[in-house]
């Protein structure tokens, strides 16, 4: 049953430019307010992450615990996410912290750009707050 459900979910992805629709991405960097910059995720944490764009402009994320979904990516490169929906499982402290950082970053996003195998989400001043890679 799970393989069938997974196949149906993946079949729902349809390409839409400039967002990386239909492709599975990973979270590579996330904004750190204390460092005032985006920080690389450790390889073991990055490997657990997942990000996908589901038309029309919904970003689905998972850092290894809860599913997060928010609508707000526009095809013109602008972005303003609505309040994210998420599952509410108890997470290990390291994943809970990363999840909190990702949710905080989503609140800051105002634009996005895709270059090759990387998609950068930026705040209103153009600073990177979240980076997705293939």
- Interval 17-76: pLDDT, tens: 344 455 789 999 998 877 788 888 888 888 889 999 888 899 999 999 999 999 999 989
Give 39-56 as a DSSP string: EEPPHHHHTT-EEEEETT
Q: What is the pLDDT of residues 108-122, one digit of tens each?
A: 999 999 999 999 999
Quote the CA–CA distance of 40 and 120 in Å, as a whole number: 13
Out of 2.60.40.10, 3.30.750.24, 3.20.20.70, 2.40.128.270, the CATH code matching 14-133 is 2.40.128.270
Q: How large is the average pLDDT for residues 112-134?
A: 94
Question: What predicted TM-score, i.e. pTM, was given to this entire model?
Answer: 0.78
18 class by beta-carbon count within 10 Å (0-12 exposed, 13-18 middle, 19+ buried): middle
pLDDT at 104 over 90: yes
Rounded Cα–Cα distance for residues 77 and 93 (Å): 34
Q: What is the DSSP letter of 18?
A: T
Res 22: pLDDT? 58
- The dihedral region occupied by 8, where left means phi > 0, alpha psi between -120 and 50, and beta the remainder, is alpha
pLDDT for 9 equals 38
119: which 2 tokens? 């998609």
In this prediction, residue 110 carries a pLDDT of 97
Is pLDDT above 90 for 102?
yes
Domain boundaries, the chain: 14-133
């Amino acid at each position: 049953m799970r393989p069938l459900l997974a196949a149906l979910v993946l079949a729902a992805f349809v390409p839409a430019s400039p967002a990386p629709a239909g492709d599975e991405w990973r979270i590579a960097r996330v904004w750190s307010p204390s460092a005032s910059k985006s920080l690389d995720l450790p390889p073991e944490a990055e490997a657990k992450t997942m990000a996908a764009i589901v038309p029309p402009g919904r970003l689905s994320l998972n850092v290894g615990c809860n599913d997060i979904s928010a609508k707000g990516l526009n095809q013109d490169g602008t972005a303003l996410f609505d309040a994210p929906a998420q599952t509410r499982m108890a997470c290990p402290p390291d994943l809970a912290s990363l999840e909190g950082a990702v949710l905080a970053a989503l609140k800051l996003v105002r634009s996005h750009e895709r270059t090759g195998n990387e998609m950068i989400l930026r705040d209103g001043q153009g600073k990177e707050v979240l980076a997705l890679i293939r």
